[in-house]
Amino acid sequence: MDDQRRLHFRFATRAVHAGERPNPRDFIPTATPIYPTSTFLYQNIEQMDAALGGAVGVFVYGRYGNPTTEALETAVASLEEQEAALAFASGMAALHATILSCVEAGDRIVASRDLYGQTITLLRTIFGSLGVRVEFVDILDLAQVEAALRRGGVRLLLCETISNPLLRVTDLPSLAEIAHRYGARLAVDNTFATPYLVRPGTLGADYVIHSATKYLSGHGDVTAGIVATTADRRWELNEINKTIGSILGPFEAFLVLRGLKTLPLRMHRQCENASRIACWLAEHPLIERVHYPGLPTHPSHETAARLLPPGLYGAIVSFEIRHGTRERVTAFLERLRLILPATTLGDVYSEILYPVMASHRGLSPEERQAMGISDGLVRLSVGIEDPEDIIADLEQALASLA
Ligand SMILES: Cc1ncc(COP(=O)(O)O)c(C=O)c1O
């Protein structure tokens, strides 16, 4: 419908149609526009027929794909050096679809016991009730991982590149080799590392999963998830998501795409800041223990040095406050003036989280103890601020505990 024809319509009709669907013009926007449309129109009905019949590269319906979201998927696939990627409404939705695409009732999953708390809950509750059996293992103990796979029926091995909150770094090439030897796929949650530090798909992982809520977007203003994988597996995931509908909206996709542009700059700065802060904390008399893969004392230091770029060990530092009771940790958190007590990570702001109260709240004290998560442990996501200001904030808050 051209604008001349629209002029002849009555007021209510023009209110709906005027200005919409302009003819394509001869320019290319620098940034991918946000396409807030739930359906798409075609030049003619023949094209529409082809689109509805599944023609490649054609958009049909918002739940099946969107140009802004597709731009984000192309970008993440490129950064992860994978053929394709599929965006989801959240990191949990991305994990859910990935696991669903690998297992059915009676199958087994071997999973790291260091996973994000909600991922453990997902495996136990949603997949447990579907008849999928899950065995949790110490992912750094390759003999234990292999023994669990050898028992048979395992379709999926699931781990995080850098675990939450103890920052244990997994030996991805070895895990991929073991998983494939026993006919299982390897899915890696790469949220903490980001493709700037490591690209699990190039080390043998079959799925690379992100909570894009974190570093990929980086500004604490969006909830999103994404999986990078082969084109075939992306198609399988999309078939699932067309039915489940955990799609990422175009506004959110735009925000993540925008965040990605500064990922290397942010990550570099955040890793440098984290390293500096970890060294400072390690010398502090009120700190019992620092968990940071860049420190030679960390159990994953060697693996981290092998898999991560020189000098960049991630931007999270976990540490245990001496005589760390819940009351003392609470007092410390309340004294912070710059670092935000927020249940997230990976933003430009420094953020601190108390796992006992947040990410691992759903687990029993015994389960937390078995995972090495003490009552004095806090997790600091280091931002891009001046490191001197972050250290000064930690120092004054710790001083109140002396
Ligand atoms: C490692 C990891 N994976 C997955 C998730 C879930 O992501 P989302 O909150 O985007 O659903 C989180 C959330 O904190 C996480 O830390």
The domain spanning residue 239 has which CATH number? Answer: 3.40.640.10
173 close to 126: Cβ distance less than 8 angstroms: no
Sign of CA dihedral 154, 159, 164, 166: positive
Domain boundary pick from 260, 291, 320: 260
- Residue whose CB lies within 8 A of the most ligand 1 atoms, among 88, 90, 112, 118, for a mutation test: 118
Ligand 1 centroid from CA 171, angstroms? 21
Q: Looking at residue 394, which CATH number applies to its domain?
A: 3.90.1150.10
Q: Which residues pair with 318 in a beta bridge?
A: 291, 379
Ligand 1 centroid from CA 91, angstroms? 5
What does the block give as tokens for 257? 């795409």
Ligand 1 centroid from CA 162, angstroms? 13
Is residue 4 a part of any domain in this protein?
A: no
pLDDT of residue 2: 56
Co-location of 227 and 280 in the same domain? no
Please confirm, yes or no, whether 63 is among the known catalytic residues.
yes
Euclidean distance between CA atoms 358 and 379, whole angstroms: 11
- Exactly one of 155, 168, 185, 214 is catalytic; name it: 214
Co-location of 333 and 360 in the same domain? yes
pLDDT of residue 369: 87
Q: Considering only CA atoms, which of 260, 264, 244, 243 is closest in space to residue 252?
A: 260
Euclidean distance between CA atoms 299 and 169, whole angstroms: 9
What is the residue with the minimal CA distance to atom 9 of ligand 1?
Answer: 91
Euclidean distance between CA atoms 238 and 181, whole angstroms: 27
Is residue 39 a part of any domain in this protein?
A: no
Co-location of 268 and 214 in the same domain? no
Is residue 170 a part of any domain in this protein?
A: yes
98 in ligand 1 pocket by Cβ < 6 Å? no
Number of domains in the chain: 2
H helix intervals, 115-230: 117-121, 128-129, 142-150, 172-181, 194-197
Co-location of 85 and 169 in the same domain? yes
Co-location of 240 and 344 in the same domain? no
Q: Which strands, in side-by-side order, build the sheet including 108-112?
A: 84-88, 225-229, 207-211, 185-189, 154-160, 108-112, 133-137
Co-location of 74 and 201 in the same domain? yes
What does the block give as tokens for 246? 């955990």
Low-confidence stretches of the chain (pLDDT beneath 50): none
Between vectors from CA 358 to CA 283 and to CA 80, what angle results, nearest 5°?
Answer: 80
Please confirm, yes or no, whether 261 is among the known catalytic residues.
no
Co-location of 89 and 165 in the same domain? yes
What is the residue with the minimal CA distance to atom 8 of ligand 1?
Answer: 91
Domain boundary pick from 230, 260, 290: 260
Is residue 205 a part of any domain in this protein?
A: yes
- Residue whose CB lies within 8 A of the most ligand 1 atoms, among 116, 209, 347, for a mutation test: 116
Closest atom of ligand 1 to CA, residue 95: 4
Between vectors from CA 260 to CA 256 and to CA 262, what angle results, nearest 5°?
Answer: 130
pLDDT of residue 363: 78
- Exactly one of 116, 182, 215, 313 is catalytic; name it: 116
Co-location of 281 and 252 in the same domain? no
* Alpha-carbon distances, residue 97 vs 18, 193, 249, 373 (angstroms): 40, 21, 17, 28
381 close to 344: Cβ distance less than 8 angstroms: yes
Please confirm, yes or no, whether 61 is among the known catalytic residues.
no
Co-location of 296 and 221 in the same domain? no
Domain boundary pick from 224, 240, 260: 260
SS3 381: strand
Co-location of 227 and 91 in the same domain? yes
Please confirm, yes or no, whether 189 is among the known catalytic residues.
yes
Euclidean distance between CA atoms 157 and 102, whole angstroms: 10
Is residue 160 a part of any domain in this protein?
A: yes
Query: What is the residue range of 236's domain?
Result: 61-260
223 in ligand 1 pocket by Cβ < 6 Å? yes
Ligand 1 centroid from CA 209, angstroms? 10
Ligand 1 centroid from CA 238, angstroms? 20
Co-location of 78 and 187 in the same domain? yes
Between vectors from CA 160 to CA 257 and to CA 231, what angle results, nearest 5°?
Answer: 55
What does the block give as tokens for 113? 């016991």
Is residue 7 a part of any domain in this protein?
A: no
Is residue 72 a part of any domain in this protein?
A: yes
pLDDT of residue 178: 98
Co-location of 129 and 270 in the same domain? no
pLDDT of residue 24: 83
What is the residue with the minimal CA distance to atom 13 of ligand 1?
Answer: 211
| Parallel, antiparallel or unpaired: strands 108-112 and 340-341 | unpaired
Is residue 250 a part of any domain in this protein?
A: yes
